[in-house]
Amino acid sequence: MTPFGVCVVGSFMKDLVVRVPRLPRRGETLHGTEFAEFLGGKGVNQAVAASRSGARTAMVGRLGADGYGQEFLALLAAEGIDAGRVTVAEGSGTGVGLPVVEPDGSNAIVIVPRANATLTAADIADAADRIAAARVVTVQLELAVETAIEALRIASAAGTTTILNPAPMRPTLPPDLVAYADILVPNAIEAEQLTGRTCDGDAAAEVAVALAAKFARRGCVLTLGERGSIVVDGGEPVWLPAHRVDTIDTVGAGDAFCGALAARLAAGDSLVDAARYANAAGALSTTIPGAVDGIPATAAISALLSNGPVADLVDD
């Protein structure tokens, strides 16, 4: 089989997005200001991001036998993403995500996996041809942990670079999951859950070093939103500043980062250079509503990179 740059093993979620003046309190009914539907899910977001950044991309996952599933298949075809190992679960609906977005673009999300939860380790073994043919494989945790482990195991055995995005975070990361992860890509909240340490100020660099030492075979990229990202790749941590943009919606920004990172690693970039490119991709994704809709292409990312990052490195 012709090699893929990136193979994403992950989820499909139809996002039903509500905009609100603020998050509701427990037991409160709050009037929203807008409602919209978007295609999303951490897996498909990362696959689209990798493809739009120039990587020949394959997707492994499971859809429901419904209209949402048909929408996703059409999206993969339009984006040129190989869907030969995307299967349909009869009798189960496509996964849904319920993001609640505040005026500044910050959000809270409830997900209902549905068909995603039926993807098993045996299904991943059936997709080994796609996984082993990729230069980089990305995995998230909207699938069952056993499924994620099998994907990383197959990729590792084939000599493929593996990226673990530990989101949504579980109480612990099983040793078998960590054993096959080359690069860990958490955000600040996930990093704090994994280490029990705050990412405030300069402490974030120490957290990134600790994450790389404990949870990855090669290194870590800790994403900090408007504070940029920190890369640990066998040496001193490198803090990459963010780009200041007009943020509308942060849904999917981390996925845009991960997919772009994978694409550049597949193209041969160093981890630091790939993360620098991914910083710009993640920033641009926040300027357009919706996860998939907001994912930028290479031309836009390159244009932003030419202007240079301008955000402060650490909190005042």
User: 226 a known binding residue?
Assistant: yes
User: 169 a known binding residue?
Assistant: no
Pairing of strands 229-232, 219-223: antiparallel
Side chain identity, residue 232? V
Three-state DSSP state, 276: helix
Side chain identity, residue 26? R
User: 120 a known binding residue?
Assistant: no
User: 1 a known binding residue?
Assistant: no
User: 254 a known binding residue?
Assistant: yes
Q: Of 246, 255, 273, 316, which one is the catalytic site residue?
A: 255
User: 279 a known binding residue?
Assistant: yes
User: 290 a known binding residue?
Assistant: yes
Determine how many CB atoms are found less than 10 A away from the CB of residue 203: 12
Pairing of strands 107-112, 95-101: antiparallel
Q: How many CA atoms lie within 13 A of 118 on its CB side?
A: 16
Active-site residue 255, yes or no? yes
**What is the spatial distance between Cα 237 and Cα 83, in angstroms, rounded to a whole number?**
37
Q: Would you give the distance in Å from CA 171 to the centre of its chain?
A: 19
User: 251 a known binding residue?
Assistant: yes
Are 16 and 145 in contact by the 8 Å Cβ rule? The answer is: no
User: 224 a known binding residue?
Assistant: yes
User: 207 a known binding residue?
Assistant: no
Determine how many CB atoms are found less than 10 A away from the CB of residue 176: 14
Residues in the annotated binding site for ATP: 187, 223-228, 254-255, 279
Residues in the annotated binding site for substrate: 13-15, 41-45, 142, 255
Residues in the annotated binding site for K(+): 249, 251, 285, 288, 290
Residues with active-site annotation: 255
